[in-house]
Structure 1
């Protein structure tokens, strides 16, 4: 490993129209950096790997060394990054896509942030102030937001964009880690498994590809779900050996609030459905929305948050009664706030609903932790 050298890992599959431009732009924006690029190609039918070889023959390595790893099959982005990591010589690793959606001109800022803050990972983020996404339809943006929310809350990740494919990290933090390399989100696995690392984020504008085709398909979504489940199980094993009470408490609270976020969706949609489609008075619609969300929240919290897998009818009925009772306290607060905000302040019903549901969340967590699932509050 060479100190102060930067290794840029670029996984490719059918990127013949973009890869040469990417390699040129890297050199253009990092002219004074000790640099190497490693292209990891998954046997692209369009000859991407061969194009990179020709690029090296024509331009040579006098500008900066470029190497190609030819893989026999399409084995996924995460495993491609790991193969590139094994061949890398630098102590600093940059991971980026090859479709020009990740602008190389951001890399110097990421490297400078890594140096100045002495952090371990710098994420190019679409979701911090100054970041943006261009060219995505609403459905794609919604899917990204949902996946990000699941990763942040469900896995307890401290990053606004854990689904980013554009990041920089110190190679040493991967020492001793065993990666599953499922699917497309290497950063997600790194954030979960590299305990205690310091993460910084810099904003950038993601611009959807202009050439080639997107790699997002059903298999990508399935791989993401598999990856999250394996990482959740990994985190669960870590939590079992975690001695810090604060960490255990916050971990469980994060899961409770994740369930609460799903309940917010159930509550919100059911309430709007009854109030608009059935022309029901908004308070009656809110009550029905609460009933729907209490039921879904109970099942998810019992199984996931508090890891109680005993669904014996009598025990479950008693727990549900307690859960509904404590949730009803929050419901009274919610109803009062909705009425107060709508009638007293003429606030729109959807906005008032969100504020009211959020206010009740923490008290519900503490009460149910202690009395419904029989756990110490600070544990």
Structure 2
């Protein structure tokens, strides 16, 4: 019995000192190449790679499992019913016990040869977080289109100016940190959006000791980029949340901003129907309300709940529940405003209070009934 136990322990691979977390969506063609690149770059280091796949329709998770059958260092965490780079990174980090954790994209645009020097910096005990930077001497952004490069640099400058973080590339998606640093930031992470690095830094209770290493950002080999203009929207939300100390949820900022857009849509529709179309006042108000609610639903589905976006039949169900929630909120708005105007006789504060109650109600109830979080299988 002791002999069998000894043989089992001899066959067991050594515990991984470094875990590489790879968020993935439709990256089937890149998985094997990335594993090969990591194997070449991390020679002599005990490592593992955790692919966090958001139920890719191209079979990314299936491909990772096939490779994991031949390599015990490869694992996959398949998430069903939810998406998002930040939350994928967090779940991947929680799924490993390694004392050092790296995040790298699956598209082979990050330079995996930078991982060993990153690890050396962390092992010195003097650094908590090492970031791969595209914007210091020796770094580059490959052949990006002019608009994308300009938007990235603008967002970078704004983040540095606003947060006072002494970094050249706070928007980087390629970094390595100690588990202790991750766990200190964990309770305050928003987990929404693409900019997990900035979230980690701003969520740390004490300033992290930072280092940057330059690298050349490479062109994607297979598949399409997941980055789009909505990343800037999520970036703005993240900064707003952190600037308020996390007292107001990130999603609420987006929900409220969409509500302001809906207000303009309501007014414009009302004018078109009542003033130009010469319809009765009540008819114009009903049409404008319906159009504004529908506008808010689709904008929130695309922006506020991007990681829980409704599709297919769920889209119709979501639209119906959102209408019910908003109608109830509108009734509450009117009743509260009416009660306040009777008791304090100041119409502006009465109207504002009614609107605030309506927004909070719509946000809370739609989170529960319209975009309720589905459990992964």
Structure 2-normalised TM-score? 0.59
Determine whether 1:19 maps to 2:27. Answer: no
Seen in structure 2, the aligned counterparts of structure 1 residues 79 and 154 have a Cα distance that, compared at 3 Å, is same
CA distance in 1, matches of 2:152, 2:246: 22
> Which residue of 104, 109, 118 maps to 1:96?
104
1:204 corresponds to 2:215: yes
What is the deviation of 1:217? 1.9
- How far, CA to CA, are the matches of 2:244 and 2:164 in structure 1? 13
Aligned-residue offset at 1:225: 1.5
Alpha-carbon distance in structure 1 between the residues aligned to 2:97 and 2:156 = 32
Q: Secondary structure at the match of 1:90?
A: coil
Give the drift of 1:235.
Answer: 8.0
Deviations 1:33-68 (A, max 9, x none): 1111100000001110111001112x232xxx1111
2:190 alignment partner in structure 1: 180
Q: Which residue of 2 aligns with 1:48?
A: 60
* Cα distance in 2 for residues equivalent to 1:91 and 1:111: 11
Is contact 1:192-1:231 (8 Å) kept? yes
Q: Is the 8 A contact 2:201 2:207 kept in 1?
A: no
Q: Is the 8 A contact 1:155 1:231 kept in 2?
A: no
- Which of 143, 146, 153 aligns to 1:145? It is 153
The alignment partner of 1:124 has SS state of strand
How far apart, CA to CA, are the structure 1 residues paired with 2:100 and 2:81?
Answer: 28
Alpha-carbon RMSD: 1.9
Cα deviation code 1:74-131 (max 9, x no counterpart): 4210000110011111010000000000121111111122234620000000111111
Give unmatched runs, 5+ long, in structure 2.
1-13, 249-377
Gaps of 5+ in 1: 238-379
Runs of 4+ in 1 over 6 A off after TM superposition: none
Partner of 1:331: none
Residue 26 of structure 1 and its aligned partner are, at CA, apart by 0.5
Matched, 1:87 2:98: no
Other-structure match for 1:273: none
CA contact (8 A) 1:192 1:235 kept: no
Specify which of 17, 21, 29 is matched with residue 5 of structure 1.
17
* Pairing partner for 1:190 from 189, 200, 207: 200
Alpha-carbon shift at residue 215 of structure 1 (Å): 0.8
Q: Secondary structure at the match of 2:220?
A: coil
Give the superposition deviation at 1:222.
1.6
Alignment match, 1:263: none
* Deviation larger for 160-169 or 103-112: 103-112
Q: Give the deviation of 1:220 after TM superposition.
A: 2.1
* 2:240 matched residue in structure 1: 229
Aligned pairs (5 A) from 1:220-259? 220-234=231-245
Aligned to 2:85: 77
Separation in 1 of the partners of 2:15 and 2:139? 31
Cα distance in 1 between the residues matched to 2:152 and 2:229: 14
SS, match of residue 244 in structure 2? helix
Secondary structure in structure 1 of the residue aligned to 2:102: strand
Give distance in 1, aligned partners of 2:26 and 2:180.
31
> 2:135 maps to which residue?
127
User: Which position in structure 2 is the counterpart of 1:216?
Assistant: 227
Structure 1 residue aligned with 2:357:
none
Aligned residues: 232
Q: Does 1:154 align with 2:154?
A: no
Q: Secondary structure of the equivalent of 1:43?
A: coil
1:106 aligns with 2:114: yes
